[in-house]
Each structure stands twice: as C-alpha cells, then as structure tokens.
Amino acid sequence: MVHGKIPERQRSDEEKAMKQLTYNSNAWASFSFANNATILAQVLDLADEAFEPLKAIPGFSAFFSFQAISREIIQHMRLYGGNVLGIDPNRNIFWLNYGVSYSNAADDELVYSTTRAYFEKVEQYTRSTGQHETFIYMNYALPTQKVIESYGQENVDFLRTVSKKYDPKQVFQRLVPGGFKLGPVRPSTDGDPVSI
C-alpha cells in the first residue's frame, strides 16, 4: 500500500535525471493510419522531405517502427474487455513510432518543431484520403500529443468513471509527476472525486 507522497526533493532529483536522459538527446512520437501500401509510401516520402534539415545536426539518427494492428486483434480486444483505445474495429491499421537521437540539447526546438510539422503534414494527408486513425500509442508519444483524448470522448468518460470508482483519491493521477493523465478529475475536500 502507498502511504503519503514522494518527498519533494527526491521527486525533483528524479525529474532532473529523467530530463537529462530523455530530453537532451532524443525525441519520440507516434501516430496511426490505415494499413495501406500507398499511404505508407507517402508517409515515408514526407519523412524524407521533412527530416532533410536534421541530417546536419551532430549525432543525428532517426528510425521508424511500424506496428501492424489487424481487425482480428481489435475484435479480440472487444471480446476480452472492450476497445477502450477507440481503434476502428473495421480496418487494419499501422502504429508509426518515430524516434530521433542527436547530441546537443540546443537542437531540441528544431527537432520538436520539425517533428510536429511532419506530423501535421501526415495528418492532413491521411485525413484527406480517409485513412487517418486518431489513436496515438502512448509509449512513444511526444509530450505535446493528446494521447488520452485520442481514445475518443466515450472511452475517456469510461476511464474517468473507472478511475473515480477504484481510485477515489486519484492517487494514480497525482502521485507520479509527468506522463499522460486522465484529467480533469480531482479529489474534492470530502474525498469524492469531482470532474473539473
């Protein structure tokens, strides 16, 4: 059982260590789209164009990982507890996980702005072709991506209801800093969670 909060100094030290490990040398991001060879080729062509300026950054290295998620996987999810991620159960999709590493923290803004611009182009393209999937894979998402919202409002409402029921003091939403949280749920003064 968890008692109390993590001491402020310890949490502060851990946050500093994580920033040094995470933000000074790499960036991760994720998005999803229909499993379609034409779409995949265009996504890669857009990457070649978008990331050309980053090749001059010291220590630059990039990779793309495509994870295919079939209709059958989603249907099994529904059989064994639901599809709380909000993934379209009627089509096969790809999760694209993108990572880039580089040597100098001074390049953070260039890397992040280039990544955001690339994602905006991919989203425009996949939406214009009807192949966009809103789901964002949490483990590789940029800190600015709206991961929880990508599950759809009905699923977010369900997760909040479960959170209120099984974690009425919202320990799992408040105890650990950073990451993606359900919000907006907060404990009231009488112990009952309140939606903000």
Q: Give the Cα separation of 191 and 41 in Å (integer).
A: 52
Total-model pTM? 0.72
Radius of gyration of the chain (CA): 19
The pLDDT of residue 119 is: 86
Per-residue tokens: 90 = 């009627």
pLDDT digits (tens, 9 = 90+) for 149-176: 999 999 999 999 999 999 998 888 888 7
184 upstream amide cis, omega within 30 of 0:
yes
The one-character DSSP state at 91 is S
Closest CA to 71 of 85, 86, 89, 84: 89
For the cut 50, the answer to whether the pLDDT of residue 3 exceeds it is no
pLDDT band at residue 194, thresholds of 50, 70 and 90?
very low
Average pLDDT, the chain: 80
pLDDT digits (tens, 9 = 90+) for 43-66: 999 999 998 989 898 888 888 888
